[in-house]
Copies of this chain bind each other. A is one copy, B any other.
Amino acid sequence: MLSKANIKFIKSLQVKKYRKQEQCFVVEGAKSVMELLASDFEVVKLLATEKFLDEYPVSTKAEVIAVTEKELEGVGEFQTNATALAVARMKPNKMFTASPDEFALVLDDIRDPGNLGTIIRTADWFGIGKIIASPDTADLYNPKVISSTMGSFIRVDVLYTPLEDYLAKSSLQIFGAYLEGKNVHDVTYGKGGLIVIGSESHGISSGLERFITQRITIPRFGKAESLNAAIATAIICDNIRRSTKL
């Protein structure tokens, strides 16, 4: 049985201000919730149907609340997979640096939550575990971001930090995705580096240009003016993995 206080609490986490205040976020859907329970995230509350709890006996320190599908639909943002929902604690925004033998993504104001989620999922597919995001990039803990990562937020670390400072301190190669640059098919990527992806509306900020050591571009054969940011990221990642034959 779901209390009014819990309903109010969970719904409040759809809003960034309350997520920040409570340092908690919501994960929906059986698959993502199972992955979350097996991760190092601290789960605070687990709402699940009797069927889910019978099927997956979970061992957790979280408060477990048995709910009906209808109750779940009432608190969740999404209508599908209405068998489980978890409230987990946000991780601290801890500074990290990428090592010279790995690739990391740098996101310059990717404001669309679906795009950010898809980029995290794509990074996870290509074995990229670190993303550095500008403060104006969408919030990792936004329910739409979490949902579109399809569980990959568990395996990819996202750091929010002002990009100029971050890039200024880096000694790695810094690739920047531009409409004009070296063909991604012909670039020598080496063993590691940072890949800067700009926003769809403004591209890479002019303040970051001086840090870019190699402009790269995806060759165009038709007439679209640009590619979606997540699409561009994916094509670049595939070309890196192809070139470095890891």
Contact = CB atoms under 8 A, between A and B. Distances in A.
Nearest to A238: B235
Interface residues of A, number: 38
Given A231-B230, A238-B235, A238-B238, A221 B185 contact: no
A110 to B, nearest CB: 14
A220 interface: yes
A224 B121 contact: yes
A191 interface: no
A180 to B, nearest CB: 15
A56 to B, nearest CB: 17
A225 to B, nearest CB: 7
Interface of A: 114, 118, 121-129, 148, 150-152, 155, 184-185, 218-228, 230-231, 234-235, 238-239, 241-242, 246
